[in-house]
Chains A and B, each alone.
Chain A
Amino acid sequence: MFEASPINLKNLTRQKIFRFLLGSMTATLILPVALILGTLIVKGAPVISFDFLFTSPTNGMTAGGIFPALLGTILLVLVALLASVPLGVAAAIYLSEYAPDNWFTRAINLAIINLAGVPSIVHALFGLGAFVLFFRFGTSILAASLTLAVMTLPVVIVATRESLQAVPMAFREACWNMGATRWQTIRRIVLPNAVTGILTGVILEVSRTSGETAPIMFTGAVFFLPFLPQGVFDQTMALSLHLFVVSTQVPEMPEAVPYGVALVLIGMVLLMNSASIALRMYLRGKKKW
């Protein structure tokens, strides 16, 4: 080994300072959020009970549970998935397996980036103009779910495309060489090896979709409903909007209720995300080639 010369020592000290500085910035970014989440848990956990999750709100929403909102969110997410997963997977298959490298494909990619970047409230305006008014679905689960589907489509497309492209080209070529059609190759070799990756994307989309508020405000979700939705053309309550309502719109709300709603919502979202991350890590550890 060489002796550290003075100039190197100076550089090493500088490096240590920067390392410390950047490390503290990281901590500054993460710690407050950890504290905030801690507060949510401390204040919200006491209200969460079986009754809270599985009964309807009473007394002008100041008492009772959140069941209609919870159910509404699940319905909205399910219908949105039914629309966006097939479309998103198809789009990803096109982009990964068929699309030539030309201006049109670049336009599609740009559209995907923009679809993800358009403000959620603009998606809400679109949902209102297109699904509620033009297609006459009214303010309904269907209109709200389709709005959510359009908004979260990029999540499915990007995740699916990534997992399709992770399948080596050589496998496709080997399959084509044997006379397999493009579709046979996709179905027998590419998709089976990408399906777990696609699943991580879908779970991620569930998480995104269940937290969204603005896109459903004017398209299908309402502040309060005395009954549960009976079909996709009914309106519904939703957890995210419920949090907005109980924290801003209802006077004399007991402090603990919005904390409880926030905790359930964030718990749901983070659970989904953790599941998606766990699946991805499991996948990384299990190489098939």
Chain B
Amino acid sequence: MNKQTRASSKTTDFDRLNRDWYIDKAVQILVFIGGISAIVFIIGIFIFITKEGMGFLLGDFSFKEFFLSPNWRPTSENKATYGILALIAGTASVTGLAMLVAIPFSLGTAIFIAEFATGKTREFLKITVELLAAIPSVVWGFIGLAIMNPLIIDIFDVPVGLNVLNAGIILGLMAAPIMTSIAEDALKAVPDRYREAAEALGATRWQVIYKVVLPAAKNGLLGAVLLGVGRGFGETMAVLMATGHAINIPGSVFDSVRALTATIAAELGETAVGSPHYKALFTIGISLFLITFVINLIADLVVRGVKKG
């Protein structure tokens, strides 16, 4: 046996800490820093928006007024009021309508892609859905403004086409592709042996879906819906451009409204750093952060539940 390597590089002292060992340790520390970055950023986001909005939280407004008053008049000369109820109503109405559009269509599409479509059709649909999900929100806002607006005015014979209906449809179309892909993943996660077992008993495809697949994927589908809600709720540019931007508790889908996110986007540029108005906008940001955090948390727990079961 040729002994060139052992004689030279290998001694009995195999436990020497060599260069490779130190490099390995260094890399371990570096990637750990990368690993905790997500946590650092989430905490950072909370700390920084709280820091900017805190003065307002501590001082000059009552929680009751903030959340229950519909009067958002931050620039009023004699008495500025900061009530976000109308904004909440705006966000809720638009998101609600969007979900009415998005939930049935995205779940239907997901079932079609996962259970009925085959081969090239399926591949095509999956790619299309993925591409639809990629369209930037400012483009959706522009579509609401330039295409949906005149369409709504024409069809429904209303004076203004920028309203709950417009933003709701836009937001629904935006959220649907994402909900579709998550829902499809949930359906795909149902093991094929369930389907095979049901089919062996003579069930049709639809019976298999209805009786076996949907119950098994229930939590994953709920997770998809929740993430869609979170997405619609936090959407900014599209609702800024398509809602008509009027502070208003809507009475019908043809009323213009204004959303929480859009208010920040529209007004933050004009406020002085540290002013009550500025702080009020950050306080809206804190509320948005906390609500989406809770939605994501619940979605995660729900989806995790399905994995255990």
Contacts and interface: CB of A to CB of B under 8 A. Distances in A.
A113 B125 CA distance: 26
A123 B282 CA distance: 11
A251 interface: no
Given A29-B105, A29-B106, A33-B173, A211 B34 contact: no
Nearest to A187: B27
Interface in A13-53: 14-15, 18-19, 21-23, 25-26, 28-30, 32-33, 36, 39-40
B38 interface: yes
Contacts of B36: 108
B246 interface: no
A117 B39 contact: no
A247 to B, nearest CB: 5
Contact of B35 (A108, A125, A269): A108
A279 interface: no
Interface string B14-43: 000000110110011011111111110110
B261 to A, nearest CB: 5
A157 interface: yes
Contacts of B111: 22
B206 A26 contact: no
B131 interface: yes
Interface string B115-141: 010000000010111111011111101
A213 B42 contact: no
Interface residues of B, number: 90
Interface centre among A32, A208, A266 (most CB of B within 10 A): A266
A39 B142 CA distance: 12
A270 interface: yes
B32 A32 contact: no
B305 interface: no
A12 interface: yes
Contacts of A265: 136, 138-139
B292 A117 contact: yes
A244 interface: yes
A89 interface: yes
Interface centre among B48, B142, B269 (most CB of A within 10 A): B142
Interface residues of chain A: helix, strand, loop or mixed (majority) = helix
B115 to A, nearest CB: 8
Interface in B24-73: 24, 27-28, 30-39, 41-42, 44-45, 48-49, 51-52
A91 B138 contact: no
A88 B38 CA distance: 9
Given A89-B34, A120-B236, A243-B142, A110 B24 contact: no
Contact of A22 (B30, B109, B128, B261): B109
B113 A258 contact: no
A241 B30 CA distance: 36
A21 B108 contact: yes
B141 to A, nearest CB: 7
Contacts of A15: 204-207
Interface stretch (A126-134, A167-175, A226-234): A126-134
B306 interface: no
A21 to B, nearest CB: 7
Contacts of A121: 234, 236, 261, 264-265, 285, 288
Interface residues of chain B: helix, strand, loop or mixed (majority) = helix
A244 B125 contact: no
Nearest to A186: B27
Contact of A114 (B145, B146, B293): B293
Contacts of A29: 105-106, 109, 132, 173, 176-177, 180
A213 B145 contact: no
B268 A218 contact: yes
Contacts of B130: 273, 277
A123 B256 CA distance: 26
Given A90-B31, A119-B235, A11 B204 contact: yes
B289 A118 contact: yes
A265 B141 CA distance: 13
A90 B141 contact: no
Interface stretch (B75-83, B192-200, B295-303): B295-303
Interface stretch (A54-62, A63-71, A74-82, A93-101): A93-101
Listed from nearest, the 6 A-B pairs whose CB atoms lie closest are: A90-B34, A211-B136, A119-B234, A94-B35, A25-B108, A129-B48
20 contacts: A11-B206, A14-B206, A22-B111, A25-B104, A25-B109, A94-B35, A111-B39, A117-B292, A119-B236, A120-B236, A126-B45, A126-B48, A181-B20, A207-B134, A213-B236, A240-B138, A240-B237, A244-B138, A247-B141, A273-B130
